[in-house]
Chains A and B, each alone.
Chain A
């Protein structure tokens, strides 16, 4: 790894390759997609949060003029008792299918029941109202603690609590229990001079991507299924379609169009299989679009949770014990990110004695989906608030207590594995020395808070090919959908190897028939893993070009070197040729050069962040204003600093929304009452100051340029940092998210 190397492309800020298309409106998104003979689909959704489906009569809808086809769960292949292997984990095929179109029970308000294809979207919508569904309405369970009560209504009769292979003996809403244990927790608390134990509650929060889900499907007469869509991973869409439709994977092509945000929410499929079913039934291409209410009610948010945290420390600030119980709402089907939350909660600290219990609990809400560092934000809200309280009680600076206990290379994470080179301490030091932290903060009802966070980051599979053009540019073909500027960050890594400008690399994101398997754009993996594949593919190009230069000069390949974009001969001949000039002579030296690489790198390296925030609390209204926000984060090596800063700023803004405003608000019947962006209030640029993003670079030994993923960890600290700032401002410890004006006024005794 080249820790001290001066780069020519890495670390610069070129204009993104897709920038012109995006700012001129020429980029093609799913809703823009058109094809001859297109029909329009619409999904009928359950009005009930929990109901048995007694019957569905589609005859009136089918008879409606303009309607070309209606589908229900009956049109899906039989899915009983099969486990679907989606490459990244086994899931029940029945759950997977039932979430696409409910077969026997509707498990949340908004659960898809049936779908119509018609010549016009309005006709399709009208026809949905002509589908007669008889429901037996059941009592819903809407909150994790209620769902864990022994007498709670059971959502799935077949779920027994699973605990690493052991299965409970009676139906339960607790789908699984996990545990991590390290050292002797009782001994740890005995050694503590102070012990603090608190309870925390977090709300259901949506990713809030601006572009709703969309899909257009077409079956060719030869049986080839093509789906054009917005997704974080074309290959995972292909896998899910193959399992849900029980259709050969070789007959499915998924074409990823531009994506208007995902944040984890566009990994799971919802309407893509529905569009395919309608296309099959009608023999026509069918486009299905969600509206905003569909997105809120019919796709996966991040879970609400109930978390207890108990931590002990000595008088001099050493944390001696950390214990938590974390119950996460999985939504309608098992699979919350409680495992990730449990593995992250105490990760920043080198603590000898730890006990972590996690529970995955089904409730009558949409099946949860990943959202930026899934589970870690819920977790850090609890642990980072308690650490703040420990620091206050011990009269220790809150960043100093983090430095005293912070994890370093060679320490064991709370859940076990040893840390490689990490940069947690460096993020805390960067925060501590930042002018923000040392600036005065003494005004009445103004407060300052800090918090830290951890996210694993992942590697997984990526494939890249690079075709050399005669003019010395290259076409880079990749399978990672570009959400946050990864065309640029991947192209730049190839450019650095080839000694050419970033602008001389033309990156293209292609369909599943046109590149090797590539896992989702998620887990903060794309600049790391697909960038690593681009680096290796470029190295493959260099190897082949060295062969061509050797042939040109009639020398041994070992006597050709490549430096800074120039090939030169060594040991005798004085020959030199640029990458560009040699590219023009490929025809005479053997034909085209195509570099290729596939990667499944294991050394993603964890990411840490430490944030400082100043707030003003209006004691009359309970409104919290963000006055100043500084986020330090270890990026390993920032390939394109502007996009790293953008990821940090975006993550912080979403974390602020989670902290202060955002939550699904349900009535007693389980109906979300704020399913629009008017009532589900996300922060806008008018609400916030400029977020100061401070990039810390502790190179990741698992990547040739030292890259660490950056997209997820910035959402982890904000709720805890803001809660700690609110405490500093008004002396109230907020333990429930969002810390909305009404909750704050109640906590302050004003209402």
Chain B
């Protein structure tokens, strides 16, 4: 199952866990399953039905450009970090 690194300031929602394994074949499925196990997490990561514009999703170290639609391998490692675009970081 994909491993999700929990952002430091969200660990209050995951009982202090800094990384958890969550099933899912897409970012959408992983986030939905994360929300099921740890309520409140989706609202931190998403703006409605898409990844919050200020957040970048890294799959195995590479930023995905297709947000919720991105495919996720079974052994993928996911990180949610500040988004970077055009030399600009959104906080």
Contact = CB atoms under 8 A, between A and B. Distances in A.
Contacts of B63: 458-459, 602, 604
Contacts of A604: 63
B47 interface: yes
Contacts of A419: 61
A522 B53 contact: no
Given A164-B7, A180-B8, A417-B81, A337 B86 contact: no
Contacts of B9: 163-164, 166, 177-179
Interface string A56-95: 0000000000000000000000000000010111100000
A358 B82 CA distance: 12
A147 interface: no
A212 B91 CA distance: 28
Contacts of A343: 81-82, 84, 89
B87 A339 contact: no
Contacts of B60: 418
Nearest to A87: B85
B20 interface: no
Contact of B8 (A179, A264, A519, A524): A179
A615 to B, nearest CB: 29
A89 B90 contact: yes
Interface string A329-357: 00000111111101100000000000000
Nearest to B19: A416
A267 B62 contact: no
Given A416-B5, A417-B61, A420-B61, A522 B88 contact: yes
> How many B residues touch the partner, as a band?
20 to 34
Contacts of A525: 86
B26 interface: no
B29 interface: no
Given A89-B85, A165-B44, A338 B91 contact: yes
A236 interface: yes
Contact of B53 (A89, A336, A418): A89
A603 B62 contact: yes
Given A88-B53, A89-B90, A418-B77, A340 B82 contact: yes
B18 interface: yes
**Residue among A89, A162, A163, A372 facing the most chain B CB atoms (10 A cut-off):** A89
A419 B82 CA distance: 17
Nearest to A600: B65
B64 interface: yes
Given A181-B18, A416-B58, A712-B87, A339 B82 contact: yes
Interface string B48-68: 000011100010111111000
Interface in A403-448: 413, 415-420
A702 B87 CA distance: 19
A371 to B, nearest CB: 8
Contacts of A339: 81-82, 84, 89-91
B74 interface: no
B79 A416 contact: yes
B22 interface: no
Interface string B2-36: 00010111110000001000000000000000000
A370 interface: yes
B81 A420 contact: no
Given A339-B91, A370-B88, A417 B10 contact: no
Nearest to B85: A88
A165 B43 contact: yes
A671 B5 CA distance: 45
B3 to A, nearest CB: 11
**Residue among A162, A181, A182 facing the most chain B CB atoms (10 A cut-off):** A181
B1 interface: no
Contacts of A712: 87
A458 B64 CA distance: 11
A173 to B, nearest CB: 14
A85 B53 contact: yes
Nearest to A338: B91
Nearest to A90: B53
A256 interface: no
A415 B61 CA distance: 11
Contacts of A413: 61
A264 B43 contact: no
Contacts of A372: 87
Contacts of B61: 413, 417-420
Interface string A156-192: 0000001111100000000111111110000000000
Contacts of A485: none
B67 to A, nearest CB: 11
Given A374-B88, A602-B65, A88 B83 contact: yes
Contact of B82 (A85, A178, A181, A373): A178
Contacts of A232: 86
A269 to B, nearest CB: 13
Contacts of A264: 87-88
Interface string A178-211: 1111100000000000000000000000000000
A584 B37 CA distance: 64
A416 B81 contact: yes
A301 interface: no
Nearest to A420: B61
Given A88-B53, A180-B8, A417-B79, A456 B84 contact: yes
A375 interface: yes
**Residue among A163, A165, A236 facing the most chain B CB atoms (10 A cut-off):** A165
Contact of B84 (A164, A177, A458): A458
A523 interface: yes
Contacts of A85: 53
Given A88-B53, A164-B44, A602 B62 contact: yes
Nearest to A410: B61
**Residue among A358, A374, A416, A602 facing the most chain B CB atoms (10 A cut-off):** A416
B62 A89 contact: no
Given A179-B7, A267-B87, A604-B63, 19 more contacts: A85-B53, A88-B83, A89-B53, A89-B90, A175-B91, A178-B91, A236-B86, A339-B89, A370-B86, A370-B87, A415-B79, A416-B58, A417-B62, A418-B61, A456-B84, A458-B85, A458-B86, A523-B84, A523-B85
Interface of B: 5, 7-11, 18, 43-44, 47, 52-54, 58, 60-65, 77, 79, 81-91
Interface of A: 85, 87-90, 162-166, 175-182, 232-233, 236, 264, 267, 334-340, 342-343, 358, 360, 370, 372-375, 413, 415-420, 456, 458-460, 519-520, 522-525, 600-604, 702, 712
Across the A-B interface, the 10 shortest Cβ-Cβ residue pairs? A88-B85, A89-B90, A339-B82, A522-B87, A181-B8, A370-B87, A339-B89, A520-B86, A418-B61, A522-B86
12 contacts: A88-B90, A89-B53, A90-B52, A180-B7, A334-B91, A339-B82, A342-B82, A343-B89, A458-B86, A523-B84, A523-B86, A602-B62
